[in-house]
Structure formats: C-alpha cells, structure tokens
Amino acid sequence: MLSQRILEEPCLASIRCLVPELPFGAHPVPMKPSADLTAAGLGRMVADFLGALDLCDVTLVGNDSGAAVAQVVAARHAGRLLQRTWGGSPAGGGRPRRSR
C-alpha cells in the first residue's frame, strides 16, 4: 500500500490516485471463507475494482506483494491499463534482512 506521505506529494496533485485496500491480512472487514485469495484471485479483485468504477487508461502501481497482483492484472486483465510499474519492498533495499 502506498503511504499517505507519498500520496500527498505536490507532484501528484494533478493525478487521481485510488488505493483499494486489498486483503493482505490487515484489512478491517474479513473476507468470506470462499474468497479466492490467490494471486490470480486478488488480480481479479483489482480488475473488478477497475471495472466497477469504469476506469480505463489506468497506471497500475504495485509494490512489494502488490507487485505480484499487478503482474496478474497486467497479464490477464490488461484491457483497462495504459501503463504499469512495480517494485520490491522499500525496506532493506529489496534484499533479505540478516537475522541477528
């Protein structure tokens, strides 16, 4: 999830940025037991979100675990996307941390 600090950057003032809360474990409302929480299922949730809002020419940003979901959307539901970007976790520079 993008931090609020990033979303408030002046360079983003002219960009409409929607940040859906995906069920990665910290979501306040539990998913139904039958919910498909695989990468494919989460990708479908994002695609359904874009469809419900009738969004097109979307720039999809995925970070950390969300990058896997963004890749699924790009591969299986690309019709609404204009561009996409994804990256690793900002913590630790994308490298595994050493145990102490």
> If we measure between CA atoms, which residue out of 24, 20, 29, 28 comes closest to residue 47?
20
74 three-state secondary structure: helix
Rounded to the nearest angstrom, the gap between the alpha carbon of residue 39 and the centroid of all alpha carbons in its chain is 11
Judged by average pLDDT, the poorest of 18-27, 46-55, 57-66, 90-99 is: 90-99
Q: What is the rounded distance in angstroms from the CA atom of residue 45 to the CA atom of residue 13?
A: 27
Given a contact cutoff of 8 angstroms between Cβ atoms, the answer to whether 58 and 82 are in contact is: yes
Predicted TM-score of the model (pTM): 0.75
Largest CA distance in the chain: 48
Given a contact cutoff of 8 angstroms between Cβ atoms, the answer to whether 38 and 12 are in contact is: no
**Residue 29 CB coordination number (10 Å):** 6
| pLDDT tens digits, one per residue of 38-59 | 999 999 999 999 999 999 999 9
In this structure, what DSSP letter does residue 17 have? -
